[in-house]
Structure 1
Amino acid sequence: MSESVQKKLLRVRPPRVRITYDVHTNGAIEKRELPFIVGIFADLSGDRDPDADPAVPPDIKERKMVDIDRDSFNEVLKQSAPRVALKDVDNVLPGGTGKLNGAIVFESLSDFDPIRVVDKVGALDEVFQQRKLLRDAQARAEISDVAAQALEAATAGVEEASAWSEELAGKLAEGFPEKDDGFKTGLAAAFEKHVVPVITAPGGKGRGAALSIDFAVRAIDSALSAQLSAVMHAPRFKEMEATWRGLFHLVSRSETGTRLKLRVFNATLKELQDDMDKAVEFDQSKLFKLIYEAEYGTYGGSPYSLLLGGYELGPGAPNMSFLEKISGVAAAAHAPFLSAASPEMFGLKGYADLAKPRDLAKIFEGADLTKWMEFRDTEDSRYVSLVMPRVLLRLPYGEKTLPADGFDFEEQVLAAGNVPENDHFLWGNAAYFLAERITNAFSLYSWTAAIRGVQGGGLVEGLPIYTFASGGDDGIKELFCPTEVAITDRREKELNDLGFIALCHCKGSGKAAFFGGQTTNRPKRYINADANANAALSSRLPYILAASRFAHYIKVIVREKVGGFLTRANVETFLNAWISQYVLLDDNASQDVKSAFPLREASIVVVDVPGEPGAYRATVFLKPHFQLEELTASIRLVADLPA
């Protein structure tokens, strides 16, 4: 008898860690599992339209978290009304002067494609429409002798007169009797503007109509490429495209459903900073109410398991103040916060120069990084992780890289000497890629420890592969690093010790991996070796995620039991009995067994809160099985229990 499909799947599917709690419903006991919810904060609207009514987005106090998945992605994008003003983009079209006018409003992710951008920029669309007229006339001439003769007559007339005239425009129009006057007028204008200069240029005579139009279209494509590159390389355009493509990377690769949810909140970094600065304490801010009170602190709420900021944070005072306050929110809600580290942290303009400093630790001895070092010593800094460097989100557009629809767009990304210019590529926030590894681990195992190493869940695959000629006559091609800089093992260790999580590119491939998991916290040093090991491991992201997961369950369980306990000892006994279900003392057990019992050791100590009768505080000690370090390690977690 053949094996059932279910038994075969048991061998294929990774074992799942299943943590549940009991809920009594009409006399029956129901086991429930908390969903893993990721809260994402990012500037989704870009340059706000001052004339929009109602305002998009509304005032920050009126905004809400919005669920997002693959099906609703474009709907969320449209509602966010991403907008990029063109007032700072030079008009480099032939004959153009000054700056471009207007703004681009995006309604779907495909609106970031070159042909859609051309359609939304008036100056570009005008030239592109003339290109279409020339190609339409050329295509018509291939099937119509009348149209072909008209084009040849117009071309021959220009060759003789070296100029354009109304008479030639009339001859050209005679070749397209089925077309309306608008087409004929537009074709004449396009012919005069683009084809006549080709014919009258040195060596331009005698080519014939078809070849002359080909030369004209090639010149149009070159002009469009230069102007479109200027638009797409504008800082605000790149920021908007990087935000949405980075978010799409996370959303499209996450198996969202009832167990895994993604939610976005539209806000600039300054709006969040102002919100937290105006609050007397961090627990009075909009951010705290969204993350803690609305979910973790509300009966029936589903706590956030992870927070992500689509921002780059540097050493400046506003950013440091934000980090201090967001760490308080993250610690209170037991939801680690991920964001990107700005190269300014290292005194650099870009990560391409990260290999130049000999000793990174010396940089952090400077007075300008004093606040950063003080922040690292705080207890709540364990709930903050800064990821770097930036990640290439797409290949540059071009015939041999990423062909664009509509015309031959060659995105200008090379500097002098045909060397790639970093600033002309689309770089994204690496925190989206780490968050994707976390959601992937949860989807596979219902546990978020497998997020580090090549075989341990930290491998990022499918990065864009761009090659370029390195110069010289040998024609050797080089691979452009899709993580902006290649990080060596030694440098990765330095970055890890300094409180950063680095994405390391695998040389000669489109792969990269997260090896470290260090949060921004600087572990305290003790005399005892075991204490040092505990402090080090307790400041690493996989263990913070594991501890936070149990903290959420404990909060929900005790909230369900409020009014059912008489003493502190009752609470402690019940919680220890619950958590003991997930403890396995056998270090040699199989992965299947350890997946059902993810903890090596666990205990919960409950104490009274002074001055608050009936209120307790739980200290949780956890030692997970899923750890790569062969050290004696425990995690200490303090969680307030509802009265």
Structure 2
Amino acid sequence: MDNAWLQELIDAVGHDVLRQKPTKIQILHSLNQQIAHIDQLLQRQVDEVLHHPDFQALESAWSGCRYLLEQLAFDPQVKVKLLDVSWRDLHRDLTRAIDVEESDLFAKVYSTEFGTPGGEPFGVMLCNHDVSLTPATHGVDDLRVLQGLAAVGAASFTPFIFNASPSLLDLDDFSGLHTGLDLDTTYRQARFIKWNALREQEDVRFIGLALPGVFIRKPYTFSRLRTDRFVYREQVTGERDYLKVGAIFPLGAVIARCFMHTGWLAEITGKRYFGGGVVPSLNIHTSDVDTQPVISSQVMIPDALERSLSDLGFIPLCYSAHAGPGVFYSTSSLQRPTRYDTPQAQINARYSAMLQYVLCTSRFAHFLKVLVRDKVGSFSTTDECQHFLQRWIMQYVMSTDEASEVLLAKYPLREARVQVSEPAGGQGAYQCTVHLKPHFQLESIETSIQFSAEVVTNRMTGS
């Protein structure tokens, strides 16, 4: 027998036990005790690794991506691309460029896709970053980055959606988010002056901030299926030990499901026939002493608080006892709607700042850009271009609201009008202005949404 192996056995079992000339059963019992002790030490070490903030951030990012991809069911209509870039590098890229159009991000999002023949415009960008008010935590001015990303989003008609940090509500964590919180007073503080100024900018309608995070994984439990027979039960002592992902991932799943069902992006709130804003397939675990499900969201957001958060430019995920893990009832963009004197103009401004309608208008902008790009050289006048685009967009128009949700999803517009003009000195380009009046199934309103885009024609002109 190997002497080294024997010495290890003696050390593990203990000299005192061996001096007593134990039986085989006693030796095995002592060995099992030592193995159990080693397992306990290993469990603590694994807990330390799993609950370390750096490891949690890594696991959270990949778990969020996995959850999102699982909801797509390999649907060919939805394509997912990953861009691995640090927030600091993104800040450096956007702030060092003389103009945002000179940045590398603009080249990736706009130039190589939306602005290039054969390119595929991005429908939405989900950014796994917790936006905060001050750069104290990571040394980057988030407001400057958001301003640059809003410009990229507006140019490419691509909304950027982020996770909201509790610091944006003047909180240390979301557990302090409750109905007694006076958010109006909070945002009148001097430290929110720059934030409020950012919300007044038109381009920030292409920025969304979702909250709170959601629990994505149950704590690990012992499984007899383990081939290594390692006895491990994850010890969770508080909320910080649970694995959470940002709200961008459930919101992204809702957006993707809506597109897969309808090809349209307006029905991402509330409870609709195919899900609407209801979050799909998050893990709902139960406590040891109760069979009632524990909510997947970090905090329960009641109706009154949901409205307040929405008015402040956030996209809150609310818990619903009858809607599984949670539901999005509203999708406000960061932009504060422009104030007008007339009620109709105010309603138009409000709905134009909603992310679901920004997504919808962006979808039409992408198609119009590609349609005209594919017809390069075929238009000799603005009237020809306008007639072509008007005829195309009318295939999505149905003048009556008295139809099923399925039919309204197929014909999402009640009215549509395209105007094409030739700007002064705009050689090779037309200015296209589109007026859309979507169907509003759950709101008794009459409103329209307008957007403008430059379409390149490369038309031939004679002298």
Question: Could you tell me whether the CA contact under 8 Å between 1:198 and 1:215 is conserved in 2?
Answer: no
Partner residue, 1:209: 27
Partner residue, 2:230: 407
In the aligned structure 1, how far is the partner of 2:6 from the partner of 2:35? 13
Q: 302, 307, 311: which one pairs with 2:120?
A: 302
TM-score where L is the length of structure 2: 0.89
In the aligned structure 1, how far is the partner of 2:165 from the partner of 2:413? 36
Asked whether 1:223 is paired with 2:41, we answer: yes
Partner residue, 2:317: 503
Residues 87-486 of structure 1 mapped to structure 2, 5 A cutoff: 173=1, 181=2, 185-186=4-5, 188-189=7-8, 191-196=9-14, 208-256=26-74, 258-316=76-134, 318-355=141-178, 358-399=181-222, 406-414=229-237, 421-455=238-272, 456-468=275-287, 480-486=294-300
How many residue pairs end up in the alignment? 447
- Shift of the 256–297 alpha-carbon distance from structure 1 to 2, 3 Å rule, reads farther
In the aligned structure 2, how far is the partner of 1:198 from the partner of 1:443? 69
- Shift of the 526–425 alpha-carbon distance from structure 1 to 2, 3 Å rule, reads same
**Letter in structure 2 aligned against 1:211:** H
In the aligned structure 2, how far is the partner of 1:215 from the partner of 1:346? 51
Q: Compute the displacement of 1:440 (Å).
A: 1.1
In the aligned structure 1, how far is the partner of 2:254 from the partner of 2:6? 54
Q: Compute the displacement of 1:192 (Å).
A: 4.2
Question: Could you tell me whether the CA contact under 8 Å between 2:253 and 2:280 is conserved in 1?
Answer: no
- Shift of the 574–630 alpha-carbon distance from structure 1 to 2, 3 Å rule, reads same
Question: Could you tell me whether the CA contact under 8 Å between 2:75 and 2:260 is conserved in 1?
Answer: no
Q: Deviations over 1:386-413 (max 9, x none)?
A: 111011110111239x989641212221
The RMSD of aligned alpha carbons is: 2.7
Question: Could you tell me whether the CA contact under 8 Å between 1:403 and 1:409 is conserved in 2?
Answer: no
Question: Could you tell me whether the CA contact under 8 Å between 1:615 and 1:642 is conserved in 2?
Answer: yes
Partner residue, 1:139: none
In the aligned structure 2, how far is the partner of 1:373 from the partner of 1:210? 70
Partner residue, 1:602: 416
Q: Compute the displacement of 1:536 (Å).
A: 1.0
- Shift of the 583–207 alpha-carbon distance from structure 1 to 2, 3 Å rule, reads same
Equivalent position SS for 1:315: coil
In the aligned structure 2, how far is the partner of 1:326 from the partner of 1:409? 44
- Shift of the 348–188 alpha-carbon distance from structure 1 to 2, 3 Å rule, reads farther
**Letter in structure 2 aligned against 1:395:** K
Partner residue, 2:460: none
Partner residue, 2:349: 535
In the aligned structure 1, how far is the partner of 2:286 from the partner of 2:163? 26
Asked whether 1:563 is paired with 2:347, we answer: no
| Greater Cα offset, 242-251 or 221-230 | 221-230
Equivalent position SS for 1:409: coil
Q: Compute the displacement of 1:337 (Å).
A: 1.0
Question: Could you tell me whether the CA contact under 8 Å between 2:254 and 2:280 is conserved in 1?
Answer: no
In the aligned structure 2, how far is the partner of 1:508 from the partner of 1:208? 56
Asked whether 1:490 is paired with 2:300, we answer: no
Question: Could you tell me whether the CA contact under 8 Å between 2:161 and 2:209 is conserved in 1?
Answer: yes
In the aligned structure 2, how far is the partner of 1:225 from the partner of 1:490? 43
Equivalent position SS for 2:79: strand
Equivalent position SS for 2:81: strand
Counting aligned pairs with the same residue, the percent is: 34
Partner residue, 2:138: none
Q: Deviations over 1:220-264 (max 9, x none)?
A: 221111111111111111110000010111112114454321111
Partner residue, 2:436: 622
Q: Compute the displacement of 1:217 (Å).
A: 2.2
Partner residue, 1:48: none
Q: Compute the displacement of 1:310 (Å).
A: 1.1
In the aligned structure 1, how far is the partner of 2:75 from the partner of 2:267? 20
**Letter in structure 2 aligned against 1:324:** Q
**Letter in structure 1 aligned against 2:40:** S
- Shift of the 523–197 alpha-carbon distance from structure 1 to 2, 3 Å rule, reads farther
In the aligned structure 1, how far is the partner of 2:178 from the partner of 2:406? 42
- Shift of the 445–626 alpha-carbon distance from structure 1 to 2, 3 Å rule, reads farther
Greater Rg by CA: 1
Partner residue, 1:521: 335
Q: Deviations over 1:112-166 (max 9, x none)?
A: xxxxxxxxxxxxxxxxxxxxxxxxxxxxxxxxxxxxxxxxxxxxxxxxxxxxxxx
Q: Compute the displacement of 1:434 (Å).
A: 0.6
Equivalent position SS for 1:619: strand
Q: Where does structure 2 lack aligned partners over 5 or more consecutive residues?
A: 136-140, 458-463
Q: Where does structure 1 lack aligned partners over 5 or more consecutive residues?
A: 1-172, 174-180, 415-420, 470-474
**Letter in structure 1 aligned against 2:86:** T
**Letter in structure 2 aligned against 1:642:** V
**Letter in structure 1 aligned against 2:189:** G
Question: Could you tell me whether the CA contact under 8 Å between 2:336 and 2:353 is conserved in 1?
Answer: yes
**Letter in structure 1 aligned against 2:371:** I
**Letter in structure 1 aligned against 2:382:** R
Equivalent position SS for 1:300: coil
Q: Compute the displacement of 1:541 (Å).
A: 1.5
Question: Could you tell me whether the CA contact under 8 Å between 1:198 and 1:216 is conserved in 2?
Answer: no
Q: Compute the displacement of 1:493 (Å).
A: 1.1
Partner residue, 1:160: none
Q: Compute the displacement of 1:506 (Å).
A: 2.7
